[in-house]
């Protein structure tokens, strides 16, 4: 990789773009400004967009800006819409990072930094491939680019902007580089993504933390209450216990399931990756079923009472759990959340008040037809890059705004990424290798040429 490209990647990574945290708004604006200048040098007209009139309501902060860029191609050429995001997950827990989370650090051919992969690294590598292609001779497509500042927290600003951008977003193909390759960096075409919804559920009880001796056996304990609520979401076999949650689910076809099974990881390799037995989900279902075609309800964190060194013998006055749901085709995000809400409200332990906060009903899942002509074109390109040819995967993760962009643009989605399990996205010590960066860069150059 050229020193100039590496330097640009490092500059981009240093911005602490935690889009979900208003305290990092200035970092997000600075990063978006950097990207605007970078794209402007390639001949793009670039705008930084905010919902409404760009003014925030009293007492609220502006969201991170959405970047919209456009570059005209040759007459009659197809139009390509590229989606990526520059926001990142919070770096916590900080004590588990071996290097500073926003200082790009190279170790054994990998760059360690929050966002090294997700999605600054992947998107920037793709854009570098686009730059390589635009600098070469030959016919050029029309290129439109949308860079999101809130993908990790629901893409609220972009979702609000899409209706007003509908005409401008019109495209033939929607390209996304924000997923993983198959093991061994074998190329993978994503034939489906799960939807996502998330929220915080809070229990409040006593008016203060209470002495566990003086009030033990008398006052209700919110830590125990939140544990009971969370435990009620699943049956002993791991299946989801929420009535109505699975309503409308569309099961995979035989071809989809058999293809997913053929390209999926083994239990042994997955156990080596995550460091424990991959026994989550419903007993009796395969890894591919549980990760690609089944919905989930996951507890992302539970917090209550004292968690410092030693002991503090209290009955905590409040507790909360952060919960996310991955959804499959046929499920309504609104309906799924309503079912979970009703389930928890019906089971609220006596003596507590139950509240829901930070509710993001989220986006629906989608699957794409395996016989798509666009998939055949992509498979040809990826086979030129790797003689093994592409795997087809139904990703268990989500890119919340893609369904909305797909509908608004009328574009056929093509989702190809170059992540690997060792990248540790959303975890401390996230990284992305030089080899992966160059693969994403080559893919960007090749697929634009093919289109």
pLDDT, position 56? 55
Q: What mean pLDDT is predicted for residues 107-118?
A: 98
pLDDT, position 155? 94
In contact, 438 and 129? CB cutoff 8 Å: no
Strand order in the sheet with 353-363: 296-304, 318-327, 195-204, 353-363
Domain-embedded: residue 190: no
Per-residue CA distances from 115 to 11, 25, 111, 254, 269 (Å): 12, 16, 10, 37, 25
pLDDT, position 132? 98
Q: What is the 3-state secondary structure (H, E, C) of 6-63?
A: HHHHHHHHHCCCCCCCHHHHHHHHHHHHHHHHHHHCCCCEEEEECCCCCCCCCCCCCC
Examine the domain organization and report whether 137 and 242 are in the same domain.
Answer: no
Examine the domain organization and report whether 321 and 408 are in the same domain.
Answer: no
Examine the domain organization and report whether 37 and 129 are in the same domain.
Answer: yes
In contact, 5 and 120? CB cutoff 8 Å: no
Examine the domain organization and report whether 336 and 404 are in the same domain.
Answer: no
Indicate if the pLDDT at residue 344 is higher than 90: yes
Find the helix or strand (DSSP H, E) in which 411 lies. none
Domain-embedded: residue 271: no
Q: What is the CATH number of the domain that holds 174?
A: 3.40.630.10
pLDDT digits (tens, 9 = 90+) for 69-85: 999 999 999 999 999 99
The residue out of 363, 379, 411 marking a domain boundary is: 363
- The whole-model pTM stands at 0.86
Token duo for residue 360: 């993001």
In the chain, the number of structural domains is 2
Cβ count within 10 A of residue 369: 12
What confidence tier does 265 reach under pLDDT thresholds 50, 70, 90? Answer: confident
pLDDT digits (tens, 9 = 90+) for 184-215: 999 999 999 999 999 999 999 999 999 999 99
Strand order in the sheet with 110-112: 105-107, 110-112, 431-433
pLDDT, position 121? 98
Q: What mean pLDDT is predicted for residues 374-382?
A: 97
Examine the domain organization and report whether 63 and 174 are in the same domain.
Answer: yes
pLDDT digits (tens, 9 = 90+) for 227-256: 999 999 999 999 999 999 999 999 999 999
Domain-embedded: residue 391: no
Distance CA 33, CA 52 (A): 20
Taken in order 154, 155, 157, 160, the sign of the CA dihedral is negative
Examine the domain organization and report whether 28 and 120 are in the same domain.
Answer: yes
H helices, E strands: number in the chain: 12, 18
3-state helix, strand, coil in the chain (%, to 5): 35, 25, 40
pLDDT digits (tens, 9 = 90+) for 128-146: 999 999 999 999 999 999 9
In contact, 149 and 388? CB cutoff 8 Å: no
Examine the domain organization and report whether 308 and 432 are in the same domain.
Answer: no
Q: Which domain holds residue 233?
A: 196-249+295-363
The residue out of 344, 363, 382 marking a domain boundary is: 363
pLDDT, position 59? 58
Distance CA 56, CA 54 (A): 7
pLDDT digits (tens, 9 = 90+) for 43-69: 999 999 999 865 555 556 899 999 999
């Amino acid at each position: 990789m050229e020193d100039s490209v590496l330097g640009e990647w490092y500059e981009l990574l240093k911005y602490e773009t935690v889009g979900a945290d208003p305290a990092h708004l200035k970092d997000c604006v600075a990063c978006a400004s950097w990207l605007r200048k970078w794209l402007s040098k390639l001949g793009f007209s670039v705008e930084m967009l905010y919902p409404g009139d760009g003014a925030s309501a009293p007492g609220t902060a502006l969201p991170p800006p959405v970047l919209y860029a456009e570059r005209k191609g040759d007459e009659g050429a197809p139009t390509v819409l590229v989606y990526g995001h520059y926001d990142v997950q919070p770096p916590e827990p900080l004590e588990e990072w071996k290097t500073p989370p926003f200082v790009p650090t190279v170790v054994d051919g990998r760059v360690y930094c929050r966002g090294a992969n997700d999605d600054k690294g992947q998107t920037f590598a793709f854009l570098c491939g686009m730059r390589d292609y635009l600098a070469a001779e030959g016919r050029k497509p029309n290129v439109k680019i949308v860079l999101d500042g809130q993908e990790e927290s629901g893409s609220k600003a972009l979702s609000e902007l899409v209706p007003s951008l509908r005409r401008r977003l019109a495209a033939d193909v929607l390209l996304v580089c924000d997923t993983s390759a198959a093991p061994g960096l074998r190329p993978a075409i994503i034939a489906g993504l799960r939807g996502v919804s998330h929220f915080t559920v809070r229990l409040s009880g006593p008016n203060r933390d209470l002495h566990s001796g003086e009030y033990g056996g008398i006052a209700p304990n919110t830590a125990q209450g939140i544990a009971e609520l969370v435990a009620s979401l699943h049956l002993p076999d791991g299946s989801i216990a929420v009535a109505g949650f699975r309503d409308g689910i569309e099961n995979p076809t035989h071809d989809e399931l058999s293809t997913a099974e053929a390209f999926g990881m083994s239990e042994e390799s997955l156990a080596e990756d995550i460091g424990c037995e991959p026994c989550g989900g419903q007993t009796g279902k395969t890894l591919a079923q549980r990760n690609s075609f089944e919905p989930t309800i996951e507890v992302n964190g539970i917090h209550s009472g004292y968690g410092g060194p030693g002991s503090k013998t209290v009955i905590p006055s409040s507790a909360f759990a952060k919960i996310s749901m991955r959804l499959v085709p046929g499920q309504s995000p609104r309906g799924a959340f309503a079912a979970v809400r009703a389930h928890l409200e019906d089971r609220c332990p006596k003596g507590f008040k139950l509240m829901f906060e930070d509710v993001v009903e989220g986006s629906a899942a989608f699957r794409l037809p395996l016989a798509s002509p666009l998939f055949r074109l992509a498979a040809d390109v990826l086979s030129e890059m790797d003689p093994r040819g592409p795997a087809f995967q139904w990703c268990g993760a989500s890119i919340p705004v893609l369904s909305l962009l797909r509908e608004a643009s009328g574009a056929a989605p093509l989702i190809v990424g170059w992540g690997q399990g060792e990248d540790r996205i959303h975890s401390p010590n996230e990284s992305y290798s030089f080899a992966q960066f160059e693969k994403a860069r080559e893919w960007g150059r090749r697929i634009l040429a093919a289109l």
